[in-house]
Structure 1
């Protein structure tokens, strides 16, 4: 199998690289990044061009087969896979074209971030996006897109000017539409933070990009005993510094025993040393690194933290609108001192504060509502053996509940199936408008999954 075209009786035929269960590549083709999920689709289509996507959507609709869109396979709750249905995989649609003069880039939806950064760097421009090198630009953008240029240049979705999307049409059809501020402006609004796979399958993005050359990066490591000094200091400091500096902090499980803060400044190393002084004076740093590097080297430095992770995980997220009180920091200490294994952690990134481009946008101006949050949290547990799964998932959920008095909502790109009122958590006051957009562009609810935006 795996041929270009598959006859399936009458009606639309699948095109692209087609993988059925009897194909030797099927097992690799069905795997998700999060190995906690192991689903068995009826067929996987690797699309090479937009017409392959249209044909796959039509094929699925004609046969009443459930479909899922997939790009980087990074959906934390396995939303981009399906048992017995069709996976429409766009990862082989990975062209990038840069128009430096007009400061725009045309990026196909299958590109992982590492490739986007590299192609843009060749023209000395950048797009504010995330740190994990193999995350697909598609899902990241549609859910918001946070990273180390966020405070200066906004979220990835804030830099989205146009999107090409395959949507369902009529009773069994599919078509491509161009979405920008002049055409289908309501769908552009929804595509800026409304989450991937809700309205159609995006195949192409046009982004505004920024000139970039060198940046300065820092990394500070402390021992675990400094938690009560370091974490509150970082939380007060990170939103108060210049918006040219975006930073993170990660507290590892007590078995590992480290706290690490990293960050990136659009500026020189000397200025960065001066700016991080409050952090250096908190507790007793055991390792400090500050240097100026080409921007592409900085992306590799931050990507390293995402390598060599355990294959199965449970992650949940939340937003902080003000620093955690002492009680909140104590909850972090208590949970990480009783972590299910050494691969658990709490990670946080600065988003808002002094002149931040994220918080300058109104909560209703895009579908992403968490504009006034100062920080975002990611609580995670990772494991290898299925016997550990229940313990790890329960630990994450108890941790989330314990922190609930001090944090709000969740990021749609950190989805969590345990969250009962997920529409409010992900979308806040924008949910009703998202439902209206859904009804208009996908009235038959073709694009649906466990936490997709409903039609009614």
Structure 2
């Protein structure tokens, strides 16, 4: 039988653009694949998967390059990259959009906005829509519209079949419904290679945004007021808070509200009156301006970085707030922060077992963030994140699969909670030979092996 030939834009180590092609957003722990295929269409994806299986070659799948632990890269194998498959087709009549898996959020937001629509998604423009969706997808419209995966209607996926084959299948609530369920929060790269997603669209025009800054002396009061307000206020309002290092000495709360600035000002009273804010503003803007405001360029640039996270299901007691303050007082550098986003609203209207995304009842998602410039600073930064995660663990639960952390020992339960058993069943049905595997991929249920 004739061997499958790779098609698409192929980059190998001798090529002048190899370094650019292999580099992910996280420069920590660099990897050197032997070949990178930038697929241009679904056929290229099928050829790449068949080739990897025929040659028994390890491979990874990549889109937006934002996997925190670089699981979308490997040494000496094949990277199947879908980032150049990024067409967006809008059906105005049905208010749906078919988005190819390589599209990043920046493009998605711009194209949808030009037609008066959006989907609830993340904030960093270079993040790939597919990885975000497969992990659930939180962002500045989570409370009014739900997670990104809650607006997903259908997906197209290339899966492994037989011993060396590959085929395209569709999944929605009727066809391959178990795979569709698993793709709404079960994480990227576990079951196959997604090539396109179809979303229901949400009309959008103007929104109101706000920013409130406090000094270090208001740390405890500001955070406590925010956490007791943000998950419970009007569900048209989603907000975030960033607790910065003591060296920077700021606490910044910001958010987005589907409504008028005058109404937002009233909703903000509980936190505006807390402590002595150094800066407060509220403004009404076209939605695309809000997208640009929350898209921090620093998150889109490759850097030496470490992140981890967890969910908060009950407000932090004073002891936990003091722990955060102590860690930020002794931060490894000024760029170190603890970031949190309010949840509930529409996110919590769906039962934890209705999609693979388990943490429907969480009040807040939180992320521990640090970056550094010199390789010798790596150990102390990584240790800071690990120590912080452990110190806060009595007050937190699990972790968001889109904030992967290789140091979490029981990561399957941390990411998927009680949905793990069903996810392993789905894995066994669609990928019984564990073709799609990486250090934190879902293991198939043994009965399928």
- Counterpart CA distance in 2 for 1:49 and 1:300 is 30
Q: What is the correspondence of 1:380-391 to structure 2 with a 5 Å cutoff?
A: 380-391=369-380
Residue of structure 1 equivalent to 2:186: 194
1:302-329: CA deviation from partner (whole Å, max 9, x where unpaired): 0036458671111111000111000000
Q: Does 1:250 align with 2:239?
A: no
Instruction: Give unpaired runs (5+ residues) of structure 2.
Output: none
Task: Indicate which of 128, 138, 155 corresponds to 2:147.
Answer: 155
1:308-363: CA deviation from partner (whole Å, max 9, x where unpaired): 867111111100011100000000000000000001000000001xxx11001000
Task: Indicate which of 33, 46, 55 corresponds to 2:38.
Answer: 46
Residue of structure 1 equivalent to 2:108: 116
Moved more, 305-314 or 100-109: 305-314
Task: Indicate which of 274, 282, 293 corresponds to 2:285.
Answer: 293
Q: Does 1:175 align with 2:164?
A: no
Q: Does 1:407 align with 2:399?
A: no
Q: Kindly report the root-mean-square deviation, in angstroms, between the aligned alpha carbons of the 2 structures.
A: 1.1
Q: How many residues align?
A: 445
Residue of structure 2 equivalent to 1:29: 21
Task: Indicate which of 203, 206, 212 corresponds to 2:198.
Answer: 206
Q: Is the 8 A contact 1:45 1:88 kept in 2?
A: yes
Residue of structure 2 equivalent to 1:357: 346
- Counterpart CA distance in 2 for 1:214 and 1:296 is 9
What TM-score, normalized by structure 1, do the two folds share? 0.96
1:406-428: CA deviation from partner (whole Å, max 9, x where unpaired): 00000000000000001110000
Q: Does 1:303 align with 2:292?
A: no
Could you say what secondary structure the match of 2:158 adopts? strand
Q: Is the 8 A contact 2:36 2:79 kept in 1?
A: yes
1:364-412: CA deviation from partner (whole Å, max 9, x where unpaired): 0000000000001101111111100000000000000000110000000
Shift of the 363–174 alpha-carbon distance from structure 1 to 2, 3 Å rule, reads same
Q: CA deviation at 1:10?
A: 4.7
Q: Does 1:369 align with 2:358?
A: yes
Q: Is the 8 A contact 1:169 1:175 kept in 2?
A: yes
What TM-score, normalized by structure 2, do the two folds share? 0.98
Q: Is the 8 A contact 1:310 1:383 kept in 2?
A: no
Instruction: Give unpaired runs (5+ residues) of structure 1.
Output: 1-8
Task: Indicate which of 316, 337, 343 corresponds to 2:329.
Answer: 337
Could you say what secondary structure the match of 2:347 adopts? coil
Q: CA deviation at 1:37?
A: 2.5
Q: Is the 8 A contact 2:125 2:300 kept in 1?
A: no
- Counterpart CA distance in 2 for 1:309 and 1:143 is 22
Residue of structure 1 equivalent to 2:274: 282
Moved over 2 A (4+): 304-310
- Counterpart CA distance in 2 for 1:207 and 1:306 is 28
